[in-house]
Every structure is written in C-alpha cells, then in structure tokens.
Chain A
Amino acid sequence: MAIDPSHAATVAPVSIEELAGHRFTGGQRTIEHWENFLLTEVCGGPQLSDGLAHPAHLFHVPLDGAGVSIADLFSLAEAEGPDRVGLESYDWEYFAPLREDVAYTCSGEVVAVTPRRAEESAWDELVFAIELHDGDRLAARVTNTWQIWRSA
C-alpha cells in the first residue's frame, strides 16, 4: 500500500466546514494474505476459506486505497490530538465478498462536516464515504462518521 501523508496537508481548507466535498486522491489497495490472517485472528474468528477476506477490512483498506491514512484524516480534520477523535457510526455495504489479492480501486470524499454542541462539549461530526471497485464492478462502499472533539 502506498500512503502519502502530505495529501491532507496540501489541500487543507480554510475552515473545517469547507472540508465537505474534499475528494481523496484515490488509488488501489490489495488485501494481502498475511494481513488478512492477522486481522481475522485479532477479531477472534476462524480463518476464512478460498481467499475470502474478513469483513472488518472495510475500515482501513478503503482509506489506504483512497490515499489517506488515519493520521492524514486527523490532520485534515484539525484534530487536537489522536485521542480527540471518536467514533459515531459505520455504514458498510458489501456488494461482493472481499477477497485477498484483488486490486480494489478506491475513490471517495468527505461528505459533510457538521458542528455539534452540547452543554459542555463541542465537536464536529465528520462524514466520509469511499467506494471500492473490482474492475468495473462496485464491490463495497463505506460511509463512516467520526466525532472530532474541540476544546471549549
């Protein structure tokens, strides 16, 4: 996998809400056997047969393939630290089972950034979506929502 941490920094918008519509660089990502083995073990399940990849790959594989790392996203969202990012929700769609050794073409963008306020808390809700194609076929789509916590 190829990750260029300069992607986020070079296109950072003036305000966080202007991130909406920001497209990731895009690229390809292949799930290799060794990482599938380890991730499946980490999740506590049995190893899968016939080169099938564990469904839990749909977090980092789309990001890697789209050319953005978790650290890039933290930077892009101007997170005050890696521990200032929380998880709101995932919506992961599988149009075909994920497989090892398939070069998935990944493309996506930041869908929305919404400021949120509660009594003593402030955060931005960051939504991004990435599609994975196997050739011309849409293989999977992820829409993830993160919470970027801000100092009061």
Chain B
Amino acid sequence: MTAVGDEIPEWVMAEVEPLRMQTMAALLRDPNPVHWDRASTHSRGLDGRLINQGPINVGYVANMLMAWQGETCVRRLRLRFPDRVLDGERIVAGGVVTGIDGETAVCDVWLERPDRSRPVVGEATVLLSRS
C-alpha cells in the first residue's frame, strides 16, 4: 500500500541525445535554435551543447510516474525549470509521496543530475492504481 514518504522508483535517461531534441523541435514546430543548432549555444557559454525542450523533461517525469502507477495515472504536473538540461547529460527522474487523498497521491518530483543538482522540480498528482 502506498504511503506518505514512499519513494517513487527512479526512471533513468542515460544520455540526453541531440537527435531526440531535433525530432521534438520538428514535432513542436519550435523555431528556437538552442534545441537544434549548436552554433546558437556557443554564445551562451554552453560550448555548443543543445538545450533539452521543456516538454521532453516533462516526459521523463511522466515516464517515471506511468512506470510506477500505470499509463493513465497522471492527473497533474506542476513543474518549474530552474536550470537547463543539456545534451550528453545523464538525468534521473525521482520522487517521493508527500500526501494521499483517497485514491490519489501528491508527490514531490524532480529531475536530477549525477552531482545531485535538480534542473526540474515540482509536484505531481497521481491516481493510485497499485495501492
């Protein structure tokens, strides 16, 4: 049974890949070159590393939640983006249950780098199907 304090099993993106960002840019019709043209990020001090799109970062969090409580479990995602996720990074989605109300759980969620810094943080509401 799910309880406050339970940790959500981690979900790992072993390496954020530029090709995925480029495909996403096409899907989104996103004109921002920081997602697909390395020249655009040299001037930002990123040494040509591309910036992962916000929706992909959301996707990592959603993947973690769906692997935990099923494909239809996601009810709300409230996420902030204090830092950028860059190509080549290893990103781990994590979370912990902070509250339970009937069949739903509220969880703190995040994306974390190996150095423990968190470029994405927030809160998710999840329908519990495996409690």
Interface of A toward B, CB cutoff 8 Å: 3, 35, 38-39, 41-45, 48-49, 52, 54-56, 58-60, 69-71, 74, 82-83, 85, 87-94, 97
Contacts and interface: CB of A to CB of B under 8 A. Distances in A.
Contacts, number: 107
Contact of B32 (A44, A49, A69, A83): A83
- Most A CB contacts (10 A, CB to CB) among B31, B33, B44 go to B31
A86 to B, nearest CB: 8
Interface of B: 13, 20, 23-24, 27-34, 40, 44, 53-56, 58-60, 62-63, 66-67, 71-72, 74-81, 122
Given A42-B24, A93-B76, A71 B71 contact: no
Contact of B59 (A45, A52, A69, A83): A45
B37 to A, nearest CB: 10
A14 B94 CA distance: 44
Interface of chain A: mostly helix, strand, loop or mixed: mixed
Contacts of B56: 42-43, 56
A137 B59 CA distance: 25
A71 B76 CA distance: 26
B80 A45 contact: no
